[in-house]
Structure 1
Amino acid sequence: MASVAPSRIAALNRLRCSIFQTSYNPTSQRTGAKYLRRRLKGPSMMQYYPPDFNFATINKMMPGLNLIDKVEETRLEDVEAMKERGKGTPKKAKTKADSRRTARKR
């Protein structure tokens, strides 16, 4: 019985891959296809953790409770204190002439 030439086996393998739409990898290099086919972890992790509740969402769901978020109040007070000291966010330019870039170019 005669053996089949390796070139014929390679051609047959290439044809099989084109028919069944698999990747042709004659040198057996690592492609990462195993990890790309694997199921994603994100959706199952999102189901594991409960939905995020904070004071804002609870106040929107039940407006009659009027809960006060101490952390948010202190943050707003800190922002006001920074603005009073001149350390707040810069004003937005309403026109092109008001922008800092045009003021620098002059």
Structure 2
Amino acid sequence: MTMANIAPSALAALTRVRCQIFQTAYNPASIRTGAKYLRKRLRGPSMMKYYPPYEQLSLAKLMKQYPEWDVVDEDEQIRLRDLDQRKKRGKGAPKKAKSMEDSRRSKRKR
């Protein structure tokens, strides 16, 4: 029996059964599905292994790690000074409520 004698419908049925057995996608119209790229191995994990772990170096971390060094974080000093100035003008963060009676939400009428 040659290939010319086999009916196309029998070949299609054979292909459908083969796809069920081997758990592949049955795509008789050869439509692009992207299955090739979905089966492909992901690049992310190997790229993460290639590059060293990212740790952002900051002055605060250095100060915490080496307290014997007398290092001054000028940006933090400026931030704290500005915060004090805002608090003196009444522009700071509101005080935290100690109990439900102190809370503004509980005073609201519903």
- For residues 51 and 108 of structure 2, what CA distance do their matches in structure 1 show? 48
Which residue is equivalent to 2:22?
A: 16
Q: Which amino acid aligns with 1:56?
A: A
5+ residue gaps, structure 2, are none
**Quick one: distance in 2 between partners of 1:80 and 1:58?**
25
Identity %: 28
Matched, 1:93 2:97: yes
Quickly say closer, same or farther: Cα 1:30–1:75, change in 2 above 3 A.
same
Q: Go from structure 1 to structure 2 and tell me whether the alpha carbon gap of 1:14 and 1:45 turns closer, same or farther (over 3 Å shift).
A: same
Q: Does 1:63 align with 2:64?
A: no
TM-score, normalised to structure 2, is: 0.68
Query: What's the TM-score once normalised by structure 1's chain length?
Result: 0.70
Give the deviation of 1:58 after TM superposition.
1.6
Structure 1 runs of 4+ aligned residues shifted over 6 Å read none
Question: Tell me, which stretches of 5 or more residues in structure 1 are unaligned?
Answer: 18-22
**RMSD over aligned Cα atoms:** 2.8
1:80 deviates by: 1.0
Partners of 1:62 and 1:48 in 2: how far apart? 22
Rounded Cα–Cα distance in structure 1 between residues aligned with 2:43 and 2:17:
32
User: 1:76, CA displacement in angstroms?
Assistant: 0.6
Give the superposition deviation at 1:71: 0.5
Q: Deviation of residue 97 (structure 1)? A: 2.2
